[in-house]
Amino acid sequence: MEDYLAKAYAFGGTVRLYAARTTGLVYEAQKIHDLWPTASVALGRLLTGSVIMGAMYEEGNELTLRIQGDGPLEGMVATTNASGEVRGYVGNPHVFMQGKDKLPIAQAVGNGEMHVTKDLKVRDIFTSSIKIQSGEIAEDFAYYFTASEQIPSAVAIGVEVGTENDIQHAGGFILQRMPGCPEETIQRIENRLSSLPEITELLRDGHSPEAIIQAIADDDHQLLHTMRLSYTCNCNRENFERGLISLGKQQLKKLLEEDGHIETVCHFCRTQYQFNAKDIRRLIDATQRNR
Ligand SMILES: [Zn+2]
């Protein structure tokens, strides 16, 4: 089953409701980063919330979400766009904490801040920050939308791992109220959400993104379209070369003399890029040309 997102308007067109299945991309993240169970769920939730959020912005925009918490996960990062591509990493992938009946994600995240950076490409880069609310991720997204963007939102994200650290299912939804939503509709939405089963339960029952939307809004919704989601990293050797050039001539000379080669690793996909002595000399030349 492939990952995808369904977009809809619901409740008489007063809310937008985006639901997604992200099992495959969370599995991909787990494989790339060798995530242990607690890290799988935490990063899986961040990737899921981020990719749904990314779909709410315009094409070409890039969003980066950073969770800087003081817990054992040592922070997490996710980058996404409006085309359903997401990638991310966690400071410490080898976290496995057992709680009473579930993995204590909030404890693993810790206290700190969540930073949201919007790169609107043609215009500017904006970063807004909030204090981590619960560390359960979904609540933190909801608080961000309400506090930073003044858009009342409900967010639910579920990632479940099995006893073998296998990703059973992952997904979620974001519901956002548009301005001018009548009071009785707000009440109706709240009632629906409070009687809705937990998102993990819906996913466990095999609910597709469309079925999640149906469970929330009944027939009072209009599906707009669906979009494929994937774990995609767009790194390349040229980006790393530019990064090395920016270290400057002195630093590169030092690396050339001390090690004779440079090995860089992409944080997002773990691809390695090797630079031998000849490459480094070429980069040193490039720093002079850039003067
Ligand atoms: Zn990469």
**For residues 218 and 212, what is the distance between their CA atoms, to the nearest angstrom?**
10
Distance of CA 265 from the midpoint of ligand 1 (Å): 8
Question: CATH classification of 4-231 is 3.55.30.10, yes or no?
Answer: yes
Distance of CA 114 from the midpoint of ligand 1 (Å): 23
Distance of CA 269 from the midpoint of ligand 1 (Å): 4
The pTM score is: 0.93
Question: Where along the chain do the CATH 3.90.1280.10 domains lie?
Answer: 237-289
Distance of CA 30 from the midpoint of ligand 1 (Å): 15
SS3 68: strand
Strand boundaries in the chain, DSSP class E: 4-10, 15-21, 62-69, 76-81, 85-90, 112-119, 125-131, 153-161, 167-177, 221-228, 230-231, 262-265, 272-275
Q: For residue 103, what pLDDT is reported?
A: 82
Question: Where along the chain do the CATH 3.55.30.10 domains lie?
Answer: 4-231
Q: For residue 152, what pLDDT is reported?
A: 93
SS3 212: helix
Distance of CA 272 from the midpoint of ligand 1 (Å): 9
Distance of CA 267 from the midpoint of ligand 1 (Å): 7
pLDDT per residue as tens digits for the range 258-274:
989 999 999 999 999 99
- Give me the residues of the chain with pLDDT under 50, please: none
Distance of CA 242 from the midpoint of ligand 1 (Å): 15
Distance of CA 236 from the midpoint of ligand 1 (Å): 7
Distance of CA 88 from the midpoint of ligand 1 (Å): 10
Please give the CATH topology (third level) of the domain spanning 237-289. Answer: CBS domain Like (3.90.1280)
Q: Please identify every residue whose CB atom is under 5 Å from ligand 1, which is an ion.
A: 233, 235, 266, 268-269, 271
